[in-house]
Amino acid sequence: MTTPSTDVTSTPCFDPGDDLTARVQSVRDGDTTTSLRLESMLTAIDTVNPSLNAYHEILSDSARVTANSIDTRLAAGEDPGPLAGSVIALKDNLCTTEGYTTCSSRMLENYRSPFDATVVTRLLNAGATLIGKTNMDEFAMGSSSETCAWGPVRNPHGINRVPGGSSGGSAAAVSAGITDAALGSDTGGSIRQPAAFCGCVAFKPTYGRISRYGLVAFGSSLDQIGPIARSVRDAAMIYEVLGGIDPHDATTSDLAVEPPLADGPIDPSSLRVGIPREHCTDRNHPGVTANLQRIIESLRAAGATIVDIDLPLTDHGISTYYVIAPAEASSNLSRYDGIRYGYRADPRPGEGLEELYARTRTEGFGPEVRRRIMLGTYVLSAGYYDAYYKRSLQVRRLIKQEFDSAFQKCDVLLGPTSPCPAFRIGAELDPISMYLNDVYTVNANIAGIPAISVPGGMIDEDGESLPMGLHLQTPAYCETTLLRIASTVESMVRQADPIAAGA
């Protein structure tokens, strides 16, 4: 792939008032067709994607077939599903029979999946048109989308800035308006942090609410699939389609998925909003702190009860995560040996099998993936298992208990999604500094609770106007409550500053 163009400083971003419900309804009303919407989107991708590198592969042929089928069914009076007329992108670690599934890695550069992920099947059954596969940090390991084998993804709000990671391509595509919505995976904040950097909404449900079947595994006890969208309403609409039990994934919950926003936004005067002290420190960018304080005061003025909450294990979450996730990754990625599928190094005369394995994995995996595999292998090794992995599982239990205790005092936790806005490409090459971008998001995955990032306003950084995100968390399986509260917060931000919603 060619290096993305940097001739422009930013690209057009979406209109926050143009939500998925309106776009779907316009197709049903006959104001436009799915095919016309698709062709318009493909034209926009041709114009915008060269500067963003958001997409790795455009599935134009299969998308046109789907779009024509949707329009034919609508014309015949059929109901193709609640997402009929929508155009949706997929993170490139979700298996699809159309195109490639590469995880943005040379290891899977030519891999074609023989099956569709459950979420892909559910989108298609709901009438969605799947437009392409988005770039990401390799094997979802990163917080900036700079580790992609096909070059870095760029932020529509500033071409020389990262879109966050690992679902950076999905967030950039939504932000730039070159898809209606997108799916990503979230192991420690990988949809929420990019959404915050790109001015979008990202919703990570409770672990087990959405099937992981067909998601290329990173950390199996942490991974969750979720939507990146233009509004809370859009995210809720997609979640309702994706959620529910799946016989292919034994970890999915059998609890019914209710229409999340059937009762509309929640009345702030009925809320106890918890503000974690550990999320309001001087490590936050001043603009992040200022915007957070503004929304806290708006909630207080609307009658919400503001409760100070202590989450002393916040900083321990990063250490815990970077033991558990690499340990699971080292196991999950052991299958990539170049024998059954994937990249294989050219054999050398007299070379043994172990040497071939080592060269294949060294050449096929990028530096960050190799780093995490080695870290995970180390913490699982004899003599270190108890000191690192076992202890991290014990801390994981304590983090879950800490959240349980906090939710006895409040209905929702509110803080920033990330301590800072999007940083410049190449600015944070130190792995530890990069990992700390997820300090506020990883514990939701560790505890298995739902979380959402909504646009929280724009802040000034070196003369550029950049988005920041507000992070909300509720107890497990309280998705409906979380989405209703997020819708209320979203409305407050938009009333204060319409541009802050993401455009």
> Any idea where the domains of the chain sit in the sequence?
13-503
Residue 498, pLDDT > 90, answer: no
Contact 133, 225 (CB under 8 A): no
pLDDT in tens, 172-220: 999 999 999 999 999 999 999 999 999 999 999 999 999 999 999 999 9
Residue 254, pLDDT > 90, answer: yes
Res 429: pLDDT? 66
Res 501: pLDDT? 43
Going 119 to 120 to 124 to 127, the CA torsion angle's sign is positive
Percent of the chain with pLDDT over 70: 95
User: Is 190 tagged catalytic?
Assistant: yes
pLDDT in tens, 61-111: 999 999 999 999 999 999 999 999 999 999 999 999 999 999 999 999 999
Res 21: pLDDT? 87
Res 8: pLDDT? 44
Percent of the chain with pLDDT over 90: 89
Q: Which of 35, 51, 113, 166 is catalytic?
A: 166
Residue 135, pLDDT > 70, answer: yes
Taking residues 366-374, what's their average pLDDT?
96
Q: Which of 190, 253, 298, 392 is catalytic?
A: 190
User: Is 133 tagged catalytic?
Assistant: no
Residue 6, pLDDT > 70, answer: no
Contact 386, 113 (CB under 8 A): no
Residue 500, pLDDT > 70, answer: no
Neighbours of 296 (CB within 10 A): 18
φ, ψ for residue 246, nearest 5 deg: -140, 120
pLDDT in tens, 394-453: 999 999 999 999 999 999 999 999 999 999 999 866 788 888 899 999 999 999 999 999
Contact 447, 478 (CB under 8 A): no
What does pLDDT average to over the chain? 94
Q: Which CATH architecture has domain 13-503?
A: Alpha-Beta Complex (3.90)
pLDDT in tens, 294-343: 999 999 999 999 999 999 999 999 999 999 999 999 999 999 998 888 99
Comparing CA positions, the residue from 237, 234, 213 lying closest to residue 225 is 213
Distance CA 337, CA 267 (A): 54
Q: Which of 51, 91, 298, 418 is catalytic?
A: 91
Res 333: pLDDT? 96
pTM for this predicted structure? 0.95
> What pLDDT band is residue 12 in, cutting at 50, 70 and 90?
low
pLDDT in tens, 212-234: 999 999 999 999 999 999 999 99
* Cα separations in angstroms, 266 against 10, 256, 288, 302, 483: 35, 21, 25, 11, 9
User: Is 166 tagged catalytic?
Assistant: yes
Residue 4, pLDDT > 50, answer: no
Contact 435, 422 (CB under 8 A): no
Distance CA 462, CA 457 (A): 16
Contact 41, 87 (CB under 8 A): yes
